[in-house]
């Protein structure tokens, strides 16, 4: 089994190192990750500047781009053939609900879905302290379950681990995406030279109580596994709107 790993926290991310270590128990690992943190860049790819690749040896590479760049370069330049599966993470912080729209971690895994490769994104609700070593056994268990089940090419698994101490890890739940809302403040500040700059906030967070959601599962101490895909077509709206904008004839 050839496993391709990436993340959005950068090649030095503690979560990536944990993922590489555990994944190596299941097969050969190649890692292509950003050279620095690239959080919240979603599915962005670099089109207007060159990319530089650094070979760190032992199957590890950095790219001075986004997670999507890393996977593009990995599968079209570095690897002679596609991997069997793509793992992204383990992210320092959750990727719940609509976080998946912005997440670079999830984007790295979705590049596998685009290429019809099985993939999974792993994130850790570990604040404060992020004790990654304490979720090692849980990560191993989830990866074991992924390989024990039929590998699906039409979904990406979005996996979130709760804090191992508070609330603790009590099991695993298959979930849907929940709803979380970040505050929308934009803070204006001055730099040391007196010029104004803006800092996007989002410091306050509220979450809807939705049974069966990833947010509820992690809150209650369960590892949430949410199958996600890229088909954004609203088929119900298509039925309701039929005839309003033409039927294609």
Domain coordinates in residue numbering, the chain:
2-178+210-241
Identify the H or E element spanning 181.
strand 180-182
% pLDDT > 70, the chain: 98
Structure tokens at 224: 């949430």
Q: Give the integer Cα–Cα distance in Å for 212 and 226.
A: 10
pLDDT(203) > 80: no
Nearest to 158 by CA among 112, 203, 209, 204: 112
243 confidence band (pLDDT: 50, 70, 90): confident
Q: What is the pLDDT of residue 162?
A: 98
% pLDDT > 90, the chain: 90
Give the residue with greater pLDDT, 214 vs 247: 214
Query: 3: alpha, beta or left, given left = phi > 0 and alpha = psi -120 to 50?
Result: beta
Q: Give the integer Cα–Cα distance in Å for 162 and 141.
A: 14
How confident is the model over 56-111, as pLDDT tens digits?
999 999 999 999 999 999 999 999 999 999 999 999 999 999 999 999 999 999 99
Its pTM surpasses 0.75: yes
* Cβ 159 vs Cβ 124: under 8 Å: no
Query: 8: alpha, beta or left, given left = phi > 0 and alpha = psi -120 to 50?
Result: alpha
248 confidence band (pLDDT: 50, 70, 90): low
pLDDT(161) > 90: yes
Nearest to 179 by CA among 214, 144, 150, 127: 214
How confident is the model over 110-149, as pLDDT tens digits?
999 999 999 999 999 999 999 999 999 999 999 999 999 9
Average of pLDDT values for 22-28?
98
CA 6 to chain centre: 9
Give the 3-state secondary structure of residue 107: helix
Residue whose tokens read 């609203």: 234
Residue whose tokens read 């370069």: 73
State which fold the 2-178+210-241 domain adopts: Stationary-phase Survival Protein Sure Homolog; Chain: A, (3.40.1210)
Q: What are residue 33's DSSP bridge partners?
A: 62
Q: What is the pLDDT of residue 204?
A: 84
pLDDT(245) > 90: no
pLDDT(218) > 80: yes
Lowest mean pLDDT among 59-73, 83-97, 167-181, 194-208: 194-208
What distance, in Å, lies between the first and last C-alpha atoms of the chain? 48
* Cβ 5 vs Cβ 74: under 8 Å: no
Q: What is the pLDDT of residue 115?
A: 95
Q: How many CB atoms lie within 10 A of CB 199?
A: 9
Torsion sign across C-alpha atoms 17, 19, 25, 26 = negative
pLDDT(55) > 90: yes
Which ranges in the chain belong to alpha helices (H)?
14-23, 67-73, 99-102, 104-114, 136-148, 214-219, 235-241
Instruction: Write down the mean pLDDT value for the chain.
Output: 95
Q: Give the integer Cα–Cα distance in Å for 162 and 34.
A: 25
Q: Give the integer Cα–Cα distance in Å for 109 and 56.
A: 22
pLDDT(9) > 70: yes
């Amino acid at each position: 089994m050839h496993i391709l790993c990436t993340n959005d926290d950068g090649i030095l991310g503690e979560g990536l190192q944990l993922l590489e270590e555990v994944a190596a128990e299941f097969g050969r690992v190649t890692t292509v990750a950003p050279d620095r943190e690239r959080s919240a860049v979603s599915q962005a790819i670099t089109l207007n500047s060159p990319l530089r690749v650094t070979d760190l040896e032992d199957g590890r590479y950095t790219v001075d781009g986004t997670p999507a760049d890393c996977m593009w370069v990995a599968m079209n330049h570095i690897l002679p053939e596609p991997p069997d599966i793509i793992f992204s993470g383990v992210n320092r912080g959750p990727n719940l609900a609509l976080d998946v729209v912005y997440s670079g971690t999830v984007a790295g895994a979705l590049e596998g879905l685009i290429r019809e490769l099985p993939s999974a994104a792993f994130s850790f609700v570990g604040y404060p302290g992020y004790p990654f070593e304490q979720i090692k056994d849980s990560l191993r268990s989830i990866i074991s379950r992924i390989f024990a089940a039929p590998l699906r090419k039409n979904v990406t698994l979005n996996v979130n681990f709760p804090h191992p101490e508070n609330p603790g890890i009590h099991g695993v739940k298959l979930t849907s995406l929940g709803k979380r809302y970040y505050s929308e403040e934009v803070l204006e500040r001055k730099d040391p030279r007196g010029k104004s700059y803006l800092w996007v906030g989002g410091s306050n967070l509220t979450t809807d109580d939705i049974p069966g959601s990833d947010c509820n599962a992690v809150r209650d101490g369960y590892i949430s596994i949410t199958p996600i895909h890229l088909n954004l077509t609203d088929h119900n709206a298509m039925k309701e709107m039929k005839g309003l904008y033409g039927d294609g004839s």
